[in-house]
Amino acid sequence: MKYLYVFLASLKAKLIYRTNIVLEYGLTILQVGVSIFVWEALYSQKALVVPNYSLEKLNAYLFLANFLALSFSVAPAFRLATQIKSGRLSTLLERPISLYGEHLAYFIGDQFLGIVINLCLVVYFGSLSGISVLMLLLLVIYLAFAGVMFFSLMMILGMLAFWLIELWPLRSFVTACYLLFGGRYFPLSHLPNKFFIVIQYNPFSLVTDIPARFLTVGLSGYELMQYLIVTLGWTFIFLVIYRLILKHGLRLYEGVESI
Amino acid sequence: MIEVKNATLQYTTFKRSQGLKGVMHDFFKRSVIQVEALSDISLTINEGEMIGLIGRNGAGKTTLIKLLTGILPLRQGEIKIDQMLPYQREKVFLKNIGVLLGQRSQLIWDLPAIDTYDMLAAIYELPKQMYNARLTWLSEQLEVTELLYIPVRKLSLGQRVKCELIAALLHRPKYLFLDEPTLGLDFVTQKTIYKILRLENQYHKTTIITTSHYIKDIEQLADKVIILNKGKIIFNDKLEQLPKELTTEILFDIDFLNSKSVEKKLTCAPDKLNEILAKIPAERILRVSQRGMELEELILQFIKGDSI
């Protein structure tokens, strides 16, 4: 029940800033538009072609990958890092609530609109590609687990603030990783095969590239299950690391600038 | 009951070297220094007591509060609150504490305070009836009923502090920790806050621990005072138990005009009065008045005495 109230409070706070929401989605559309424009130029001159992707499918892939990245946001890392640096983490530590649970409920509330939009996109592009309802349901389950996995990674990155004095290196690092390994500029399958075999299992790819690939060029049920197992493996590893880092990090926490 | 036994806390910090050469040296090897924030502190606070925790900046007040609320781990000594170790942050323990910090908000900035209260009621698992009754009583006493539905960012400092106080008291904590509770507030708001805290203590036997640089807070909110200096307790008793030679001391205030005809004030002990008056031309003396020592000065003297 307590987490439901955190979720509701976060959702209400998010909806207050309507301009921010419009700008967030507007800028993403603009960014995707630029990528599409570049790829259209490359395809029209036959300078570069991504295997298995027609221009139409590539456009859909870029659109999906970038919109999914809005929901699988890096915001939890920076919310936690800022709380640690400002000492506001103490407020949470003084309450009978789990730090992980509070942040997860807040994150879902904050991203709720994006989650709804992405679910609509899944249904739309799924029906466009002729994917069965059962497979779409499997994808939604996969996305839920991938969301928890990605969130856990963000919590770990946020907790680096226990050790880091400045937060900007963390922000640059996470953004670079997302752009490089998330397939937000091109499908990761475009990479040389020996790189792709490894990179396809990285956490950033699992939340953007895999679902976008599933909805455009298609993945078999077996392949999706394989990615689901990898996602569960990452989740387990991240939760173990989270607990360890939290235990050690809290010993360094001084709650500076407040009690 | 709060029991602190031989609590000692050290923290590590770094000493920076001067100049470019020093910076280069620090880049490869930093000089680590150990600072003792608290040194062998022992104290007992009984249920329902109102305690004032005072001392100069860096005396260890905030560190002690952080230890008591479970924010910092204790590495040497023991702290128990109702037989629980604060740093373990057991659910029962966390439900029993309330914290109000003058400079840190626990309200959701963009939403009306009522949204934070609804969330807190769920977090502390308050029965709906109790939550409603408590919120009504607190908001009426603090005269903020109309403000509960206005976004927190639109409230004035005084209104916000009152709403913060409700957030800290909503779950009826057994132990309430206040840090500078009246910082920047006007006289009327201060009085309202003193009143409600006194009522909480009377009705619910709430143990209230206040740290403040503002002596009025301590006078109003503390029956017992703990004075900390350089991480050590130098006084732990009722205010009237402060050493008699300090409390009975008489002081003289001399108001005079200096050579630039600007009004100045000097304060001195009786034995120095003639000496000082002899140095000031008689026509420049405006007034000489006698007074007893104020609590603020008394505590300052006490700390100074310990420092020597």
pLDDT digits (tens, 9 = 90+) for B184-241: 777 888 888 899 999 999 999 999 999 887 777 888 888 898 988 888 888 888 877 7
Residue B260 sits in the same domain as residue B125: no
Residue B158 sits in the same domain as residue B253: no
Residue where one domain finishes, among candidates B241, B263, B287: B241
Rounded average pLDDT over A58-70: 89
Q: Is residue B23 part of a domain?
A: no
Residue B151 sits in the same domain as residue B279: no
Residue B201 sits in the same domain as residue B68: yes
Q: Is residue B13 part of a domain?
A: no
| A83 at B interface, C-beta within 8 A | no
- The Cα–Cα gap between B51 and B65 comes to 12
pLDDT attached to residue B305: 66
B8 min Cα distance to partner chain A (Å): 15
Of residues A180, A222, A224, A237, the one with CA closest to residue A204: A180
Q: Is residue B302 part of a domain?
A: yes
Q: Is residue B161 part of a domain?
A: yes
Residue B124 sits in the same domain as residue B60: yes
Residue B83 sits in the same domain as residue B141: yes
Residue where one domain finishes, among candidates B185, B213, B241: B241
| A87 at B interface, C-beta within 8 A | yes
Q: How many domains does chain B have?
A: 2
pLDDT attached to residue A259: 37
* ipTM of predicted complex: 0.84
Q: Is B99's CB within 8 Å of A93's CB?
A: no
Residue where one domain finishes, among candidates B241, B259, B286: B241
Enumerate the domain spans of chain A: 2-252
Handedness of CA B124, B127, B132, B136 (dihedral sign): negative
Residue B149 sits in the same domain as residue B275: no
φ, ψ of residue A121 in degrees (nearest 5): -65, -40
Residue A93 is nearest to which of B11, B70, B119, comparing CB atoms?
B70
Residue B160 sits in the same domain as residue B250: no
Which residues have CB under 8 Å from B54's CB, separation 6+?
A: B61, B211, B212, B213, B215, B218, B225, B226, B227, B228, B299
Nearest CA in chain B to A12: B111
Look at residue A256 and tell me whether its pLDDT is greater than 80. no
Domain membership of residue B72 as a residue range: 2-6+42-241
Residue B105 sits in the same domain as residue B190: yes
Residue B57 sits in the same domain as residue B197: yes
Residue B123 is nearest to which of A13, A95, A250, comparing CB atoms?
A95
Q: Binning pLDDT at 50, 70 and 90, where does residue A110 land?
A: very high
Q: Which residues of chain B have pLDDT under 70?
A: 102, 242-249, 291-298, 304-308
Question: Chains A and B: how many Cβ contacts under 8 Å?
Answer: 83
Residue B234 sits in the same domain as residue B263: no
Q: Is residue B28 part of a domain?
A: no
Q: Is residue B33 part of a domain?
A: no
Nearest CA in chain B to A11: B111
Of residues B49, B304, B171, the one with CA closest to residue A94: B171
Q: Is residue B34 part of a domain?
A: no
Residue A94 is nearest to which of B69, B111, B116, comparing CB atoms?
B69
Q: Which of A9-23, A53-67, B24-38, B146-160 has the lowest mean pLDDT?
A: B24-38
Taking CB atoms and an 8 Å cutoff, what residues of chain A touch B179?
259
Q: Is B70's CB within 8 Å of A259's CB?
A: no
pLDDT attached to residue B245: 56
Q: b/e map of B115-131 (b: 16 or more CB within 10 Å)?
A: bbbbbbbbbbebeeeeb
Residue B177 sits in the same domain as residue B275: no
